[in-house]
Amino acid sequence: MKYNKGFAPFLIVLIVLGVLATGGGIYYLGKSSNDKELKYEEKNIPIKNTEENNSILPDSFSMEMYGNYDSSGAGRTYQGELTFKNNEVISGSQVYIVGEGRNCQDNCNRKTECMVINQKWVDKNTGGGCTIDAFSTPLNKEGIIQKINESKFIQVEDLSNCKHAVTCYKITNIGFNGDKIEDNSIKEKSQDIFSSLISGLTVPKDVHFSLSSSVEKGESIPVLELSALVGNNGCVAASDLSIEKIINGNTLNVDIKGYKFKKGAGEMCPAVMVESRANINIDLNWLKQNDSREIVFKLNGQINKYKISYNKYKVTLSGIQATNVFNNPQYSLNKEIIASEVTLYPLDVAIMYLAGSFSGEKDFIPAMRNFAKTKGFIPVDEIYDGITQKQNEKNQFYVVLRNYPRPDPDRGVLIGELPDEKGVNVYLKNVYFIK
């Protein structure tokens, strides 16, 4: 049998093109300056709407999306909502915000807002096409189902519990009977995060705090000292932490919004840790009314819960749930929940302490107690029930001033030399309070 030699090469080309065209794309052979390169063009081939896929999403529903993709370069947050009726999208919006981070180089502090018009994503400001990097949500159920099957979309009951670096979604209004659901159906918890980013605030990854005390309206009150790490060189600066504090029954809600970040100029930057700080005064009357009080911190959509109680001048704080707000110093490597305590000393209490040459291991408390009484002071535990001398404090002693004027908190006042301890002087200072 004879074959047409001119037809054979043409048949081979058709077979090759047919193979290359499978899998949703077409390959082209093109020339470059060095060698041949293979290019790929995507084709929008819809996924078949199988019975299994139909069971994932109903015909009519609303869908809320949220994703936190923060990195050391910048804060990246995605949020959106879609409404489908009879398997077609009828409304929607999405927002993608890149905040100004510590290591952000270019294209920072930007916000992209899209809305659905005629079943297409449209830029809210320009009216043109609108895309949001890789986070944009498809406007058809098949595309959404594909993201679900690829674990790029994770279903959750509460968007505030969404893990880092994943887009979470929540289905609402299944089978609704209406023409449209308004765009303001997005959860308030997620909106709090976005309002911070829109206002130009940088949201920290985590915040650390410690329990201290201060003086307000003539009484000692507990204070939470918050700090967030901003950078590790002196060429950056930050404002105080922006927070919102609301008391709701037995719960003190603290919403941490973020801080204003400023990147300075200069090549020679000193190595120094830069922090953004804030102090939260706690209402002592509120704290005394019930021993089942809670403090709930909200940061980056995450919830952190602590129990706080008051008993005989002592305020105790213990953790219940912590994800990114920790009750330990900023530079601590410990991310575990720990218990902390502070004593709210009355304003007529001061501290006697020693200065001079003495052994730090020796317990001077008995000698200081006798010395205080000879000078007209009263040991604090003889007046205030519940305030005791700390066991690890061997060279300082708490006393009640009586008629003695309150010393300056920044420097001590010499009272005299401790008997039988030559060269060891006793000073008096005010209990330290935050100014």
pLDDT above 80 for 203: yes
Q: How many CB atoms lie within 10 A of CB 305?
A: 16
Nearest CA to 225 out of 275, 280, 276 is that of: 280
> CA quadruple 424, 426, 429, 431: dihedral positive or negative?
positive
Return d(Cα 164, Cα 251) in angstroms, integer. Answer: 26
How is residue 431 annotated by DSSP? P
Angle formed at CA 213 by CA 207 and CA 219, multiple of 5 degrees: 140
Q: Are residues 69 and 139 in the same domain?
A: yes
299 close to 206: Cβ distance less than 8 angstroms? yes
Evaluate whether residue 281 is within a structural domain: yes
Lowest-pLDDT range of 11-25, 184-198, 269-283, 376-390? 11-25
Nearest CA to 102 out of 202, 199, 185 is that of: 202
Q: Decide: helix, strand or coil at residue 343.
A: strand
Residue 104 is predicted with a pLDDT of: 56
Q: Which of 343, 364, 397 is the last residue of a domain?
A: 343
Evaluate whether residue 75 is within a structural domain: yes
Residue 73 is predicted with a pLDDT of: 55
pLDDT above 70 for 3: no
- Give the mean pLDDT of 42-49: 34
Evaluate whether residue 47 is within a structural domain: no
- Give the mean pLDDT of 144-150: 90
- Give the mean pLDDT of 156-167: 83
pLDDT above 60 for 31: no
Q: Are residues 338 and 387 in the same domain?
A: no
Choose the most confident range, by mean pLDDT, from 44-48, 114-118, 190-194: 114-118
Lowest-pLDDT range of 7-11, 44-48, 99-103, 128-132? 44-48
Residue 160 is predicted with a pLDDT of: 77
Q: How many CB atoms lie within 10 A of CB 150?
A: 8
Evaluate whether residue 29 is within a structural domain: yes
Q: Are residues 291 and 366 in the same domain?
A: no
Q: Are residues 78 and 184 in the same domain?
A: yes
Return d(Cα 207, Cα 119) in angstroms, integer. Answer: 41
Q: Are residues 182 and 79 in the same domain?
A: yes
132 close to 139: Cβ distance less than 8 angstroms? no
Q: What does the longest C-alpha to C-alpha distance in the chain come to?
A: 128
How does pLDDT run across 238-271, given as a tens digit for each residue?
889 999 999 999 999 999 998 888 766 556 677 7
Confidence band for 416, pLDDT divided at 50, 70 and 90:
very high
Return d(Cα 291, Cα 310) in angstroms, integer. Answer: 7
Indicate whether this model's pTM tops 0.85: no
Using only C-alpha atoms, the chain has a radius of gyration, in whole angstroms, of 32
Q: Which of 343, 371, 393 is the last residue of a domain?
A: 343
Q: Are residues 354 and 227 in the same domain?
A: no
Nearest CA to 209 out of 330, 119, 41 is that of: 330
What order do you get walking across the sheet with 340-343 strand by strand? 242-248, 251-258, 293-299, 302-311, 314-321, 340-343
Residue 54 is predicted with a pLDDT of: 47
Q: What does each C-alpha distance from 245 to 248, 251, 285, 300 come to in angstroms?
A: 10, 10, 16, 16
Return d(Cα 317, Cα 225) in angstroms, integer. Answer: 13
Q: Are residues 57 and 157 in the same domain?
A: yes
Evaluate whether residue 435 is within a structural domain: no
How does pLDDT run across 317-347, given as a tens digit for each residue?
998 888 889 887 655 555 667 788 899 999 8
Evaluate whether residue 2 is within a structural domain: no
What is the pLDDT of the chain when averaged over all its residues? 76
Return d(Cα 244, Cα 175) in angstroms, integer. Answer: 37
Residue 223 is predicted with a pLDDT of: 94
Q: Are residues 148 and 58 in the same domain?
A: yes
Q: Are residues 120 and 237 in the same domain?
A: no
Confidence band for 202, pLDDT divided at 50, 70 and 90:
confident
Helical (H) or strand (E) element with 373: helix 365-374
Q: What percent of the chain has pLDDT over 90?
A: 26
Residue 37 is predicted with a pLDDT of: 30
Q: What percent of the chain has pLDDT over 70?
A: 72
pLDDT above 90 for 370: yes
Return d(Cα 307, Cα 75) in angstroms, integer. Answer: 30
91 close to 181: Cβ distance less than 8 angstroms? yes
Q: Are residues 129 and 151 in the same domain?
A: yes
Residue 103 is predicted with a pLDDT of: 52
Return d(Cα 414, Cα 12) in angstroms, integer. Answer: 103
Lowest-pLDDT range of 60-74, 269-283, 344-358? 60-74
| Sequence letter at residue 374 | T
Return d(Cα 268, Cα 250) in angstroms, integer. Answer: 50
pLDDT above 90 for 217: no
176 close to 60: Cβ distance less than 8 angstroms? yes
Higher-confidence residue: 182 or 420? Answer: 420
Q: Are residues 177 and 61 in the same domain?
A: yes
Q: Domain range for residue 387?
A: 349-430
Q: Decide: helix, strand or coil at residue 144.
A: helix
Total tally of structural domains belonging to the chain? 4
Lowest-pLDDT range of 297-311, 318-332, 348-362, 378-392? 318-332
| Burial status of residue 402 (CB atoms within 10 A of its CB: 0-12, 13-18, 19 or more) | exposed
Do the bridges between strand 167-172 and strand 153-155 make them parallel or antiparallel, or are there none, so unpaired? parallel
Return d(Cα 248, Cα 271) in angstroms, integer. Answer: 42
Q: What does each C-alpha distance from 61 to 64, 147, 155, 184, 211 come to in angstroms?
A: 10, 17, 14, 15, 46
Q: Are residues 324 and 397 in the same domain?
A: no
How does pLDDT run across 222-241, given as a tens digit for each residue?
999 999 988 777 777 888 99
Evaluate whether residue 1 is within a structural domain: no
Evaluate whether residue 60 is within a structural domain: yes
